[in-house]
Amino acid sequence: MPRQKHSNSIYALILAGGTGTRLWPRSRRDRPKQLLPLISTRTMLQETTDRILPIIPADHIFVVTNEGFVETAREQLPDLPAKNIISEPEGHGTAPSIGLGGLYIEKLDPAAVMLSLHADHYIEKADAFRQALLAAAQVARQGCLVTLGIKPNQPETGYGYIQRGELIETLGDQPVFRVARFLEKPDEAAAIRFVESGEYYWNSGIFAWRIRTLWEEYARYQPRLFKQLRTIGRDLGTRRGRATMARVWSKIANETIDVGIMERSQRVAALPIDVGWSDVGSWATLLDLLPGNRENNVVVGEHVGVDTLSSLIYSPQRLVATVGLKDIIVVDTEDAILVCPKSRAQEVRHIVETLKQQSKHKYL
Amino acid sequence: MPRQKHSNSIYALILAGGTGTRLWPRSRRDRPKQLLPLISTRTMLQETTDRILPIIPADHIFVVTNEGFVETAREQLPDLPAKNIISEPEGHGTAPSIGLGGLYIEKLDPAAVMLSLHADHYIEKADAFRQALLAAAQVARQGCLVTLGIKPNQPETGYGYIQRGELIETLGDQPVFRVARFLEKPDEAAAIRFVESGEYYWNSGIFAWRIRTLWEEYARYQPRLFKQLRTIGRDLGTRRGRATMARVWSKIANETIDVGIMERSQRVAALPIDVGWSDVGSWATLLDLLPGNRENNVVVGEHVGVDTLSSLIYSPQRLVATVGLKDIIVVDTEDAILVCPKSRAQEVRHIVETLKQQSKHKYL
């Protein structure tokens, strides 16, 4: 596989909108996961940008995010042109977001290959990941929608899966498969079957395509959205741009790229990768990702433990003291504390729901 | 039993020195349990005083405490004469403390009956407790050292026990026994035997005696301490008082009233009582004492729980959110958080030991 560096025709869009609830109390409505330093001293958005800068120049990197996060994203990414941080007045799912980013990239280079990434993913092996992105770009040039499929290391029920079809080609040692189908989050029995078969990958939501291919598929499978995007694109950068965007965007229907395009397209290819990927979907993931100490505890902050094992102590401000705990998550913030067994980390969203029901807005 | 109210000859000494470690992180070196509001909005010292004020006038109530706590104790007890808060330059155990209090009381009334109480005990049935104190005072007038024995409701291994001897008399429906012996904290098998026999009581450390009887027993069993106390007493209230106290006190040997006097005296009587007594020896005790909500959780502060049962959430400042916990203690303070299963609440002292070893003085 030929190594490509700073190919002028590769652009990246980083999706940095949305607010999750499963990393509460650290992530809040006004400061979601992607804008927080969770894994290192850099925020996840910064990590995502840092990770691709060796292969994509800063002015080829775009970020789409909620209107309210634009300023913070610009502060966090001073090397990117300010105009590359694109504001969504409101979120309508990934299909409109990706389309919006595509309009900006198309303006610079109609022949561009576009990578679409999420701002809140963790990648352990950055170099292998960059190689995979370059390979994906190369496949994309042939007119495919390319998705990176994560080789599963456990029967995870929290992710969607991709079933591979026949082998299309091999770039170096990187196989490329046709995609047989996309599958929603499975139950455990199905997940076990998927992993054992070796034919299924986690759907990472990381894609590569030519802008031209993308528009063809939008026109075919999302004609209304495609028309709305074209209207926005027509006025982009003109005096009418802002007004057109405001008017059209509010009428766009919610749609994800997976359901709206990928599951319907006949031109999808998958590149299986094994790069230590995680969507950092809960505090339990963080406990798995971060390096543990002698007692297998992951400690951010100050901790004194008596017989405490395999626990996450996330408390940058205050001392946490524990006795007799195992597989427990303790997260402290300025105004709220979470205590939860690792096995139930997904249920943290119920806490957030309860806070909403109780109108405790200051904690959201 | 005749009801006595505000008997002029009854005085009380409240022992309010010492610093425990098992209620860390709320209790600290500079703010021990007795000076904290743990059970109500009043501190335990205030509760102790409030509890006896219906039967003992404020100027008959004395408090002995560490030099460093005198000012706080005076602030907390504005109704007591300031001179009734007695300062110990350093702690030497309960025998010297009680002797020191005795000197002050003797000055006011050599024929006084003195009650000796701890500032950090909880009593559920205050009225029954006051009746027991008055009965104890009456027995004390006959020349006994009287101890209140707590009827045990479980085979507690954390307390010393008193074995009763023959019945001396019955005051109303209050029996009075001779004491056969004092026993150190038993192992579990012994504790079970003790409780089943019905002949054993927890040693509450709550006493009544005439000052005169006390001095006779000090002279007999602690002659050196007795002589030192007499030297202090001779100069008490004179110009030399302070200097004599400083000189003599530093030479006093450590001794507890239990080992030094009670276990040796032949004149000890026990009044069994059942008043909902607790020494509030750990966070687990607090979880038992305070009223629980529908999920049997004891909550001080704000709590949002998903499937959380029988747990203590003690966090006056910050929201605590929990998922899937049972019998867990969570305590938050300005600078430190404790998480610990109820069953291991005694081990909180190991946390404090570790903090000492690591020279983390600011948390002690």
Chain B residues with at least one Cβ partner in A under 8 Å:
24-25, 304, 306-307, 315, 318-325, 328, 330, 332, 335-341, 343-345, 347-348, 350-351, 354-355, 358, 360, 363
Give the percent of chain A with pLDDT over 90. 91
**Per DSSP, what are the bridge partners of residue B303?**
B320
Residue of A nearest to B340 (CA): A323
Cα(A202)–Cα(A170) distance, integer angstroms: 20
HEC secondary structure over chain A? CCCCCCCCCEEEEEECCCCCCCCCCCCECCECHHHCCCCCCCCHHHHHHHHHCCCCCHHHEEEEEEHHHHHHHHHHCCCCCHHHEEEECCCCCHHHHHHHHHHHHHHHCCCCEEEEEECCCEECCHHHHHHHHHHHHHHHCCCCEEEEEECCCCCCCCCCEEEEEEEEEEECCEEEEEEEEEECCCCHHHHHHHHHHCCEEEEEEEEEEEHHHHHHHHHHHCHHHHHHHHHHHHHCCCCCHHHHHHHHHCCCCCCCHHHHHHCCCCCEEEEEECCCEECCCCHHHHHHHCCCCCCCCEEEEEEEEEEEECCEEEEEEEEEEEEEEECEEEEECCCEEEEEEHHHHHHHHHHHHHHHHCCCHHHC
pLDDT tops 50 at residue A53: yes
Say whether the ipTM exceeds 0.85: yes
**CA–CA separation, B364 and B360 (whole Å):** 7
Q: In this structure, are residues A272 and A151 in contact, taking their beta carbons and an 8 Å threshold? A: yes
pLDDT tier, A1 (very low <50, low <70, confident <90, very high otherwise): very low
Question: Residue A42, Cα to own-chain centre: how many angstroms?
Answer: 16
Contact (CB, 8 A) for A195 and A149: no
In chain A, what are the domain boundaries?
10-278, 283-363
Distance CA B94, CA B207 (A): 12
- Residue B325: its chain A contacts at CB < 8 A? 339-341
User: B344 contacts in A (CB within 8 Å)?
Assistant: 307, 323-324
Rounded average pLDDT over A134-138: 96
As a dihedral over the C-alpha atoms of residue B121, residue B33, residue B10, residue B57, rounded to 10 degrees, the angle is -120
Chain-wide mean pLDDT for chain B?
94
Question: For residue A154, how many other CB atoms are within 10 A of its CB?
Answer: 8
Tell if the CB–CB gap between A347 and B323 is shorter than 8 Å: yes
pLDDT of residue A3: 46
Q: How far is CA A286 from CA A150, A300, A330, B23, B37, in A?
A: 18, 11, 12, 31, 38
Per-residue pLDDT at A164 exceeds 70: yes
Q: Helix, strand or coil for residue B31?
A: strand
Q: How far is B322 from chain A, CA to nearest CA, in Å?
A: 5
Tell me the pLDDT of chain B (364 aa) as tens digits: 444 444 569 999 999 998 888 999 999 999 999 999 988 899 999 999 999 999 999 999 999 999 999 999 999 999 999 999 999 999 999 999 999 999 999 999 999 999 999 999 999 999 999 999 999 999 999 999 999 999 999 998 889 999 999 999 999 899 999 999 999 899 999 999 999 999 999 999 999 999 999 999 999 999 999 999 999 999 999 999 999 999 999 999 999 999 999 999 999 999 999 999 999 989 999 999 999 999 999 999 999 999 999 999 999 999 999 999 999 999 999 999 999 999 999 999 999 999 999 999 999 9
Give B282 to chain A, closest Cα distance, Å.
13
Distance from the B339 Cα atom to the nearest Cα atom in chain A, whole angstroms: 5
Is the confidence at residue A4, as pLDDT, over 70?
A: no
Partner residue facing B315 (CB), from A321, A337, A360: A337
Considering only CB atoms, A350 lies closest to which of B306, B328, B345, namely: B306
Cα–Cα distance measured from residue A221 to residue A237, given in angstroms and rounded to the nearest whole number: 27
Question: CA nearest A17: which of A79, A85, A83, A80?
Answer: A85
Q: Which residue of A has its CA nearest to B333?
A: A318
Write down the pLDDT at residue B263: 94
Q: Do A323 and B358 touch (CB under 8 A)?
A: no
Residues A179-206, mean pLDDT to the nearest whole number? 94
Nearest-CA distance from A290 to chain B in Å?
Answer: 21
The pLDDT assigned to B338 comes to 98
Which residues of chain B lie closer than 8 angstroms to A315, CB-CB? Answer: 337
Query: What is the pLDDT, as a whole number, of residue A5?
Result: 46
Give the model's pLDDT for residue B221.
98
Treating both helix axes as pointing N-terminal to C-terminal, what angle do B94-108 and B223-235 enclose, rounded to 10 degrees?
40
For tokens 């004609």, the residue is A223
**Are B355 and A322 an interchain contact pair (Cβ–Cβ within 8 Å)?**
no
Best to test chain A binding among B282, B306, B312 (most A CBs inside 10 Å): B306
- Measured distance CA(B95)–CA(B84) in Å, rounded: 19
B45: Cα separation from own chain's centroid: 10
What is the Cα–Cα distance from B34 to B89, expressed in whole angstroms?
Answer: 18
A216-227 mean pLDDT: 98
Residues of A in contact with B336 (CB under 8 A): 318-321
Burial of B134 (0-12, 13-18, 19+ CB in 10 A): buried
Nearest CB to B339; choose among A339, A345, A347: A339
pLDDT per position as a tens digit, A88-98: 999 999 999 99
User: Nearest-CA distance from A187 to chain B in Å?
Assistant: 22
Q: Is B39 helix (H, G, I), strand (E, B) or coil?
A: coil
Say whether B236 sits in a helix, a strand or coil. coil
Q: Which pLDDT band holds residue A18 (cuts at 50, 70, 90)?
A: confident
Decide if B325 and A339 are in contact by the 8 Å CB cutoff.
yes
The single-letter code of the amino acid at A133 is L
For residue A19, what pLDDT is reported? 81
Q: How many CA atoms lie within 13 A of B314 on its CB side?
A: 28
pTM for this one? 0.86
Which CATH topology does B10-278 take?
Spore Coat Polysaccharide Biosynthesis Protein SpsA; Chain A (3.90.550)
Degrees to nearest 5, angle at CA B202 with B196 and B204: 165
* Model pLDDT for residues A237-281, shown as the tens digit of each residue: 999 999 999 999 999 999 999 999 999 999 999 999 999 999 998
User: Chain B: nearest CA to A357, how far in angstroms?
Assistant: 11
pLDDT of residue A20: 81
Q: Are the Cβ atoms of B306 and A335 closer than 8 angstroms?
A: no
CB–CB of B337 and A354 under 8 A? no
Query: Could A321 and B339 be called an inter-chain contact, meaning their C-beta atoms sit closer than 8 Å?
Result: yes
